């Protein structure tokens, strides 16, 4: 049996208490942050120790390696990566070139992460920001139209998949319109469902076939004003699984974010009851991990099928022209640097 939980870890090495927790509860994944990453050898050792403690090779090992301000591995641990906005800027003059460059960078990132034992990247971001929204998304977005965001996001996701890296589209059904950062506050969006369908939901609808997604801690009052999408059975059923048509592995955003209320157990229970397959807890606090795991069940049959399909994505890789991909990435980095310096 596997717990419907993805958990963080406290530091650079697995502690005895963490090993006991992993062995007792057997989560389906772990997520790494900068606090967990000192050297390539150390990262591989930490992942190996976690797998040994859980007693399973089929473990999702997540990281946020979007590029720009959201990347846990920075030089020298990871290569320099531009923000999503750099591809959006290129798209204005060269749509195909922007998508090719985004795909190239994703393939390179996938190869880098795979060499460390990481098999899941929490990207691409498919949120569509609007004027006046909080900059928590900002330059993490691939544009301001759903079609452009989806096209570049597809190039990224397909680059990951080609190299055996599981992409996690986020933050379904959309965080781009929020005026607050859900890490610190609960965003409330009062836009009509009809308008959301044409904008925020559309980029996710266009990539609904992707194998994994992360929910948004955002209230959409015209659909369900009682709580955020991540804990809303109505939003999950009618929008995420219904209108958008996403049927892959669905995980919550981080349970410890301040957008949510109640105990960690309550939060975990709420996201599972709403229809997520897996609850995500990130900060590595063992007491919180214990509380969160008390609120999740074992993966049920349907969730296990989705988990198995997600794992299957990580099992094969294509060959590609690494030199050409690195040239594409270097050109985007140079262009972005030139634009940034001129502002």
pLDDT at 343: 55
What would the DSSP string read from start to end of 81-143? ---HHHHHHHHTT-HHHHHHHHHHHHHHHHHHHHTTT--EE---B-----TT--TTTGGGSS-
Region of 242 on the Ramachandran plot (φ > 0 left; ψ -120 to 50 alpha; else beta)? alpha
Question: Is 253 labeled as catalytic in the residue annotation?
Answer: yes
Q: Which of 127, 224, 253, 254 is catalytic?
A: 253
pLDDT of 182 reads 81
Q: Could you check whether the bond before residue 326 is cis, i.e. omega within 30 degrees of 0?
A: no
Cβ neighbours of residue 266 closer than 8 Å, sequence gap 6 or more: 295
Q: What is the pLDDT of residue 259?
A: 84
Residue 56 — φ and ψ, nearest 5°?
-155, 140
Q: Which domain range does residue 209 map to? A: 3-342
Q: Where are the alpha helices (DSSP H) in the chain?
A: 16-25, 40-54, 84-91, 95-114, 146-162, 193-198, 200-206, 233-234, 264-274, 286-293, 301-313, 322-342
Q: Please confirm, yes or no, whether 183 is among the known catalytic residues.
A: yes
> Among residues 17, 94, 96, 183, which one is catalytic?
183
Distance between start and end Cα atoms, the chain: 54
Integer Cα distance of 51 and 29 in angstroms: 9
Domains of the chain: total = 1
Place of tokens 């990951």: 160
The per-residue pLDDT string of the chain (343 residues; one tens digit each, 9 = 90 and over) reads 899 999 999 999 999 999 999 999 999 999 999 999 999 999 999 999 999 999 999 999 999 999 999 999 999 999 999 999 999 999 999 999 999 999 999 999 999 999 999 999 999 999 999 988 888 899 999 999 999 999 999 999 999 999 999 999 999 999 999 888 788 888 899 999 999 999 999 999 999 999 999 999 999 999 999 999 999 999 999 999 999 999 999 999 999 998 899 999 999 999 999 999 999 999 999 999 999 999 999 999 999 999 999 999 999 999 999 999 999 999 999 999 998 876 5
Kindly state the DSSP code that residue 170 receives in the 8-state scheme: E
pLDDT for position 340: 83
Looking up residue 242, the CATH number of its domain turns out to be 3.20.20.300
* Strand order across the beta sheet in which 278-281 lies: 166-167, 120-121, 60-63, 27-32, 3-8, 278-281, 249-254, 212-215, 169-172
């Amino acid at each position: 049996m596997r717990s419907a939980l993805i958990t963080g870890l406290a530091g650079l090495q697995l502690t005895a208490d963490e090993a006991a927790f992993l062995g007792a509860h057997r989560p389906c994944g772990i997520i790494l942050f900068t606090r967990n990453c000192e050297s390539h050898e150390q990262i591989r050792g930490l992942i190996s120790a976690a797998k040994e403690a859980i007693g399973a090779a089929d473990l999702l090992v997540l990281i946020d390696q979007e590029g720009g301000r959201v990347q846990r591995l920075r030089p020298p641990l990871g290569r320099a990566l531009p923000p999503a906005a750099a591809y959006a800027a290129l798209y204005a003059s060269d749509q195909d070139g922007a998508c090719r460059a985004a795909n190239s960078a994703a393939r390179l990132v996938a190869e880098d992460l795979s060499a460390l034992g990481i098999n899941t990247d929490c990207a691409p971001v498919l949120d569509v920001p609007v004027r006046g929204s909080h900059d928590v998304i900002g330059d993490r977005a691939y544009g301001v139209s759903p079609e452009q965001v989806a096209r570049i996001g597809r190039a990224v996701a397909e680059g990951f998949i080609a190299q055996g890296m599981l992409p996690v589209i986020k933050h379904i059904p959309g965080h781009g319109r929020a005026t607050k950062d859900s890490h610190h506050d609960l965003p409330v969006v009062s836009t009509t469902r009809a308008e959301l369908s044409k904008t925020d939901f559309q980029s996710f609808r266009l990539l609904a076939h992707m194998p994994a997604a992360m929910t948004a801690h955002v209230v959409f009052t015209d659909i369900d004003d009682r709580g955020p999408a991540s804990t809303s059975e109505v939003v999950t059923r009618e929008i995420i699984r219904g209108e958008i048509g996403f049927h892959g592995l669905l995980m919550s955003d981080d349970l410890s974010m301040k957008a949510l209320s109640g105990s960690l157990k309550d939060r975990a229970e709420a996201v599972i009851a709403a229809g997520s397959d897996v609850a995500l807890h990130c900060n590595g606090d063992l007491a919180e991990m214990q509380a969160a795991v008390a609120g999740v069940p074992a993966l049920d049959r349907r969730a296990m099928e989705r988990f198995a399909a997600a794992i299957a994505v990580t099992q094969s890789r294509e060959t590609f022209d690494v030199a050409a991909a690195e040239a594409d990435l270097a050109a985007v980095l140079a262009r972005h640097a030139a634009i940034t310096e001129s502002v």
